[in-house]
Structure 1
Amino acid sequence: MVYVDSWEEFVERSVQLFRGDPNATRYVMKYRHCEGKLVLKVTDDRECLKFKTDQAQDAKKMEKLNNIFFALMTRGPDVDISEVSGKEQAEQQQAKKGRGRRQ
């Protein structure tokens, strides 16, 4: 198991790991409330990457990583992840609902 210190490196290596073997890659989140620690783990049973944090601000980063993995899992491993923006995109879609005339 390798604990990665840099968030950007963890995301980059996790995406590479998923693209290498999408059927065998797992993504696990573990939160320990008593310690206030969040551990993210990505593994394909050959390589295991972990990122540990106790910062509340990293929750937004985790949300973006979740969106990246959702896009990779639903659209395929060759999708361009630069277009995955996360919460802003969902808010725009919510704002579009209800506009227009009823018929």
Structure 2
Amino acid sequence: WIQQSLQHRETQNRYLRDLTEQQVSMGSAYRLYQILVKETVESLKKSFECMQRVTVAPSLTSVAVSVEKTSMKKLRSAKLNYAARNPTPGQKILQTMDITNLSV
């Protein structure tokens, strides 16, 4: 009878210990979840504020976009000019080949 009582007691203690560990891990997981939600809400607020600033000054954004477009056009034309002035060896071969008499 004493042996059974001790085993029962040990089983109860093990159950309580497991339950406590489970609660601690759930608590830490919940804390991480809270932190994640808080950071997500803060980042959403910041992006919303940025969007509001953009809508307040649409002329500035259109100017920035047009400046970016023109600079990309200049960069592209500069690349094309450089490529035309400095052909690669493969391009030189293609330029010097006579393709009028080729048969497929």
Question: Considering the TM-score relative to the shorter chain, is it more than 0.5?
Answer: no
Name the TM-score, length of structure 1 as normaliser: 0.25
Name the TM-score, length of structure 2 as normaliser: 0.24
Which fold has the larger relative contact order, with Cα–Cα distance below 8 Å and residues 6 or more apart in sequence?
A: 1
Larger Cα Rg: Structure 1 or Structure 2? Answer: 2
